[in-house]
Amino acid sequence: MIFIVVKFETKPEWTDRWPELVRPFTEATRAEPGNLWFEWSRSLDNPAEYVLVEGFRDGDAGHAHVNSDHFKLAMRELPQALTATPKIISQTIDASDWSAMGEMAVE
């Protein structure tokens, strides 16, 4: 699986509108056959920062994603709302889904 985390720092005038801006990109990515998840969160420490956690089945799914029309469109549209180039961690890991946390159990 390819596991990706990306941090996006938004301009003040775009911070509250970010979910609206990324909605078409999000919906199209979630519909990709190789996408496992595509989830947005907002930082508690910096409300202008959005964090995207993505999972793709394998390298082929990742390749299809970055070559899709909706990805290319997002790469053209999103920079207008950002203060800097997004920061990313992208790793191929031996997993296919989230695992239960070993240090805690909720019953």
Residues 23-42 pLDDT 10s: 999 999 999 999 999 999 99
CA separation for the pair 95, 57 (Å, rounded): 9
Instruction: Single out the residue of 13, 6, 17 nearest to residue 71, CA to CA.
Output: 6
Domain boundaries, the chain: 2-92
Residue 59, beta-bridge partner list: none
Query: Could you tell me the pTM of the whole model?
Result: 0.93
Is residue 45 exposed (0-12), middle (13-18) or buried (19+ Cβ within 10 Å)? Answer: exposed
* pLDDT for 5: 98
Residues 74-100 pLDDT 10s: 999 999 999 999 999 999 999 999 999
CB of 65 within 8 A of CB of 71?
A: yes
In CATH, the architecture of 2-92 is 2-Layer Sandwich (3.30)
* pLDDT for 60: 97
Is residue 13 exposed (0-12), middle (13-18) or buried (19+ Cβ within 10 Å)? Answer: exposed
* pLDDT for 103: 97
